[in-house]
Chains A and B, each alone.
Chain A
Amino acid sequence: MIKKFDKKDEESGSGSNPFQHLEKSAVLQEARIFNETPINPRRCLHILTKIIYLLNQGEHFGTTEATEAFFAMTRLFQSNDQTLRRMCYLTIKEMANISEDVIIVTSSLTKDMTGKEDVYRGPAIRALCRITDTTMLQAIERYMKQAIVDKVPSVSSSALVSSLHMVKMSYDVVKRWVNEAQEAASSDNIMVQYHALGLLYHLRKNDRLAVTKMLNKFTKSGLKSPFAYCMLIRIASKLLDETEGGHDSPLFDFIESCLRNKNEMVVYEAASAIVHMPNCTARELAPAVSVLQLFCSSPKAALRYAAVRTLNKVAMKHPSAVTACNLDLENLITDSNRSIATLAITTLLKTGSESSVDRLMKQISSFVSEISDEFKVVVVQAISALCQKYPRKHSVMMNFLSNMLRDDGGFEYKRAIVDCIISIIEENPESKETGLAHLCEFIEDCEHTVLATKILHLLGKEGPRTPQPSKYIRFIFNRVVLESEAVRAAAVSALAKFGAQNDDLLPSVLVLMQRCMMDSDDEVRDRATFYMNVLQQKQKALNAAYIFNGLSVSIPGLEKSLHQYTLEPTEKPFDMKSVPLATTPITDHKSDITPVSSSKLPDKLTPSRQDIYQEQLAAIPDFQGLGPLFKSSEQVQLTEAETEYVVRCVKHTFAGHMVFQFDCTNTLNDQLLQKVVVQMEPSESYEVVTYIPASSLPYSQPGSCYTLVRLPEDDPTAVSCTFSCTMKYLVKDCDPNTGEPDDDGYDDEYVLEDLEVTVADHIQKVLKANFGAAWEEVGDEFEKEETFALASVRTLDEAVGNIISFLGMQPCERSDKVPENKNSHVLFLAGVFRGGHDMLVRARLALADGVTMQVTVRSGEETVVDVILASVG
């Protein structure tokens, strides 16, 4: 860096940077003149500037040298030079964390903050609060209170902002200044108003009632400051979001009225708040969209950017609301700010018609290399959404994506493209071959291990079923030769799948496997040896179980069980069925607006939701003998929203029992609930074993109580049951402000909605990547078939959705998607029944007047088959 300065100096011929060649030690040496009398303000000022400059450049100061310089600096308080004094404040702030004993300047700063010189007071307050801790704060509390209501705006603002910084550290002290802050909020100065509002909100944000009151007051009285308005809008939209109610409250009206504010900042904030509200109707959006439309033609780039970025967000949910702006957006395509242009195009891609797609794609490709990676990802997301909307355009998109894939770009960008191509392949069978070809080309020169392994996995899954599987072998084997261990291992697995699926390729695959067994990495060798042996057996069932459909257990669960097993040495072999199953991530493709961002790589190390439950339940002594947790259901609401108590239930299924976990929240701030249990009355032969109460349920702190139920052993087909639930508890009235409860309480009860246990609660979803192989593996020993008529269902889509949600099984081979304009469909479902029995369901659907369904069930256990057919019927 210094060299660069030198060169520059030669060019300009004079010392252009007085701070070049600054050396920390020399500057600290110079700082000795701080001790001279009389003080020379100009020289001292220059040295202080140098010190701050060095700190600013990121120079590291040791504690001793910093403390030394700091103490020397404190002498400068003797000088009355204004700028010098101000620089002292700055030095104090900069050194607050690196020097020791900074609190010795407290008295000097306190003097300045209460003194006559207004120029000193604000900065002195800020410096003082920077070095103060909770204990010292008590001592200056009186001065702070005075400063907050001071009539000089800079003093008041400084005091308010410093208080805000200190809320994190000493909430209780700052809380006592609410009245002063309240007074400051009615100040005429716009910044004081803004800071006071901010402080008030931070002090009250946990108390919804107080926030609502404050909002009401300020929305009525009206504020001068645009910043304060923005803050109010944010508070209002947060409150609206929490109330979950409709949007016809006065809060929404307030936000909407801000759309007519004369300050652009406020108007934009209001529009953006409306756009970001969940469940906003098109009618509510319209005014916000129209102000954004006006901003699109603003001369200010920042405003255009803000507007088009927000419109882009609207277009994700309500493309039709933005169509009115299409003309304005078209004008922005040629904007000199590439960010604006990109956002405009991607928005148009979402709102435009199919015919404009080609033109827009051409536009983007002209400048895609100039924009930053963030925006390239935005472009890819737009394309991905477009592919779902216009499947017929996939060839244009695919070309474009493959071009982008060849360009330079970071990992995020490449991953977005790969994810997008994969989703296209899955959506459009006819694009499969081109897509796979592009991906093959990409992995030939791919530096990202994660992407390479992902693509290899996909090749293994899709490749063998293409008309010409042999052409992929070359790409895969190249990886074995050229890449790192992880990629080689993935390539070996992919090869094995080709060998298992295609008999004519098997001999060649075996030869290649043989070579992989010489690999330098042990994981690669292990895999090769394993697959080699499985393949040589030439048994379909083995292939299916060990090559196509891998383990379906949860990894942390397996780790725990194995650990347990090694702790207690037994003769018994380890039983895979005792391991909890992995919960299949729920991927709902239709609601997925941004497939790229949501398809994050699952991090295997973070435990899933079910593992967390397992942990929690295992901690309760009564539940220890139940064995591994089989399945945890989604939360079921047992109360209406906005009632006194909110109760949600999670159903945990074990091999022979069920545990109902009730998450209760008390929304009354004048009540404390104790000994809360939910009493359950089963309709069938289910038997309630124990209740575990939640000992205490204070206001707004959720607590859980549990009910343990034994499943009927004699009748395995009794899988569904209805429970009527009543919450019983001891109420103690308490002071809403302090939370202090009365000594006496009384018993009370609260009727909850009925809870249903259905067949889906007994079945865990399991994804079989290759359903056909799994079907053969289970065999037809216990196959049963029956035909049903679903009279009330009108479309195949609806029928498929109903069956999946009723049985709670995992659709395989993407059979949950019904192709358009077809009268028949086959749905494949896979799952594991309670107790660890694999089960597969094939449902043939035909559309006539209603939908006719022929269900074939296979399982290793006869009762399971009966249960399913009985429950469907």
Chain B
Amino acid sequence: MDSSILEPSLYTVKAVLILDNDGDRLYAKYYDDTYPTVKEQKAFEKNIFNKTHRTDSEIALLEGLTVVYKSNIDLFFYVIGSSHENELMLMAVLNCLFDSLSQMLRKNVERRALLENMEGLFLAVDEIVDGGVILESDPQQVVHRVALRGDDVPLTEQTVTQVRKTILASLSSNLSYIQGEIFMSKARAKLLQAQILKSASDSFSNNPICF
């Protein structure tokens, strides 16, 4: 029995992986030297994928590591930690990653949407885990901190806050830029600007999630 008592440490996560349904790497971040070379990493990913893609059972022990995973349509999300690690902590990271992405991609968690928003994924993982330490476990906070400007999305689907933020950010630097940047008519844009300029000051102070 490995009676060695766990050395108390914040370093919880060994790797975060996202693979597609062929087992190819879409995203992979390793936080320690368990698999130092790309070759070893790919071999490990292959092994993981083979062992997990057919079953939907969320947790496994592989190569002496605890792997928690989740699949959605054509994506496989993995969070990997030491076999002595608290499985529920790893699960918290996995859930946070998945829920954050789900919000950012508007519940549309599949390969194509993810690839179109790679920068969002990069930023989200950066906010969730930093060098193996869990930085944040609340998806709301993560989405909020990533604060992705939804400029690929038609205006109607943006929340008021996002629009406000987008415009305000650009306003300060250059006004004409907005009209090209956001797809909408000049007239509407002006109307919106007027509204926003009016409410700009109180939205800053009142809105708790607005920076």
Instruction: Give A contacts to B, CB under 8 Å.
Output: 1, 4, 8, 16-19, 42, 45, 48-49, 52-53, 56-58, 80-83, 86-87, 90, 93, 117-119, 122-123, 126, 153-154, 157-158, 161-162, 164-165, 191, 194-195, 198-199, 201-202, 205, 227, 230-231, 234-235, 237-238, 241, 264-265, 268-269, 272-273, 276-278, 300-303, 305-306, 313, 316-317, 336-340, 372, 374-375, 593-594
Cα-based distance from A293 to B103 in the complex (angstroms):
35
Residues of chain B within 8 A of A336, CB atoms compared: 55-57
CB proximity to A under 8 Å, residues B153-184:
169, 172-173
Distance A52 CA – B149 CA, assembled complex (angstroms): 19
CB contacts (< 8 Å) of B38 on chain A: these are 58
Q: How far is the CA of A164 from the CA of B3 in the complex (A)?
A: 27
A56-B29, A231-B8, A374-B64 as given contacts; A265 in contact with B59, CB under 8 Å = no
Instruction: Tell me whether A278 and B135 are in contact in the complex, defined as CB-CB below 8 angstroms, given that A49-B119, A52-B122, A80-B169 are known contacts.
Output: no
Q: How far is the CA of A374 from the CA of B137 in the complex (A)?
A: 30
The interface centre, meaning the residue of A16, A42, A199, A375 with most chain B CB atoms within 10 A of its CB, is A16
A59 to B56, CA, bound (A): 31
A-B contact pairs, 21 of them (CB 8 A): A45-B119, A49-B122, A81-B149, A81-B169, A86-B123, A86-B146, A119-B211, A154-B136, A157-B136, A191-B135, A201-B8, A227-B137, A234-B5, A235-B8, A268-B88, A272-B86, A305-B59, A305-B87, A336-B57, A337-B59, A338-B57
Check A372 against B62 for contact (C-beta < 8 Å). yes
Give 6 new A-B contacts, CB below 8 A, not counting A48-B119, A82-B149: A80-B172, A154-B145, A157-B135, A195-B10, A235-B8, A339-B59
The interface residues of chain B lying within 8 Å CB-to-CB of A81 are 149, 169
Q: What's the A-B contact tally at a CB cutoff of 8 Å?
A: 186
User: How far, in angstroms, from A548 to B61 measured CA to CA in the complex?
Assistant: 43
With A119-B147, A336-B55: A191-B137 Cβ-Cβ less than 8 Å: yes
Encode B14-39 as 1/0 by CB contact (under 8 A) with A: 00000000101101110000000010
Chain B residues, CB < 8 A from A303: 87-88
Asked whether, in the complex, the Cβ of A301 is within 8 Å of the Cβ of B3, the reply is no
Is B41 interfacial (CB 8 A cutoff)?
A: yes
Q: Is the CB of A238 within 8 A of B7?
A: yes
Interface residue from B9, B28, B148 paired with A198 (Cβ < 8 Å) = B9
B41: chain A residues within 8 A (beta carbon) = 58
B22: which A residues are within 8 A, CB to CB? 4, 8
The answer to whether A301 touches B135 (Cβ under 8 A) is no
Q: Which of A19, A45, A154, A374 contacts B61 (CB 8 A)?
A: A374
* Contact assessment for B89 and A227 in the assembled complex, using a CB-CB cutoff below 8 Å: yes
Identify A158's interface contact among B68, B86, B135, B151, CB under 8 A.
B135
Q: Which residues of A contact B173 (CB under 8 A)?
A: 80
Give chain A residues whose Cβ lies under 8 Å from the Cβ of B122: 49, 52, 87, 90
Which chain A positions have C-beta within 8 A of B55? 336-338
Q: Is the CB of B136 within 8 A of A191?
A: yes
Contact (A313, B1) CB under 8 Å given A56-B29, A157-B135, A201-B8: yes
A4 B24 Cβ-Cβ under 8 A = yes
Q: How far is the CB of B142 from chain A (nearest CB, A)?
A: 10
Closest to B166 in A: A82
A-chain residues with CB within 8 Å of residue B130 when the two chains form the complex: 126, 158, 161-162, 165
Tell me which of A19, A42, A56, A93 has the highest count of chain B C-beta atoms within 10 A of its own C-beta: A56
Q: How far is the CB of A45 from chain B (nearest CB, A)?
A: 6
Alpha-carbon distance between A235 and B8 when the two chains are bound, in angstroms: 6
Q: How far is the CB of A229 from chain B (nearest CB, A)?
A: 11
Q: For residue A337, which residues in chain B have a CB less than 8 angstroms away from its CB?
A: 55, 57-60
B126 within 8 A of A: yes
Does B187 sit within 8 A of A, measured CB to CB?
Answer: no
Q: What's the Cα separation between A80 and B170 when bound, in Å?
A: 8
A87 contacts which chain B residues (CB < 8 A)?
119, 122-123
Q: Write the chain A residue with the least CB distance to B37.
A: A58
List the interface of chain B (C-beta within 8 A of A): 1, 3, 5-10, 22, 24-25, 27-29, 38, 41-42, 51, 55-64, 68, 86-92, 111-112, 115-116, 118-119, 122-123, 126-127, 130-131, 133-137, 141, 145-149, 151, 169, 172-173, 211
* Closest partner residue, chain B, to A118 (CB atom): B211
Contact A56 B28 (CB under 8 A): yes
Contact B126 A83 (CB under 8 A): no
Q: How far is the CB of B66 from chain A (nearest CB, A)?
A: 9
Is A16's CB under 8 angstroms from B112's CB? yes
* B residues in contact with A238, CB < 8 Å: 5-8
Q: Lowest 3 A-B CB distances belong to which pairs?
A: A58-B38, A337-B57, A198-B10
Q: Distance in Å from the Cβ of A128 to the closest Cβ of chain B? A: 13
Q: Which of A48, A231, A339, A594 has the most CB of B within 10 A?
A: A339
Residues of chain B with a CB closer than 8 A to A1's CB: 24
Option from B6, B64, B88 in Cβ contact (under 8 Å) with A234: B6
Q: How far is the CB of A37 from chain B (nearest CB, A)?
A: 13
Question: What residue of chain B has the Cβ atom nearest to residue A374's Cβ?
Answer: B61
Contact B92–A374 (Cβ < 8 Å): no
Q: In the complex, what residues of B have CB within 8 A of residue A58's CB?
A: 25, 28, 38, 41-42
Contacts of B172 in A (CB 8 A): 80
Measured CA separation A237–B3 after assembly (Å): 12
Task: State whether B135 touches A161 (Cβ < 8 A).
Answer: yes
Known: A42-B151, A227-B134. A302 touches B58 (CB 8 A): yes
Q: Known contacts A90-B123, A235-B8, A303-B88: does B25 contact A57 (CB below 8 Å)?
A: yes
Q: Which of A241, A302, A338 contacts B5, CB < 8 Å?
A: A241
Which of B28, B141, B147, B211 has the largest count of A CB atoms less than 10 A from its CB? Answer: B211
Residues of A close to B131: CB separation below 8 A: 161, 165
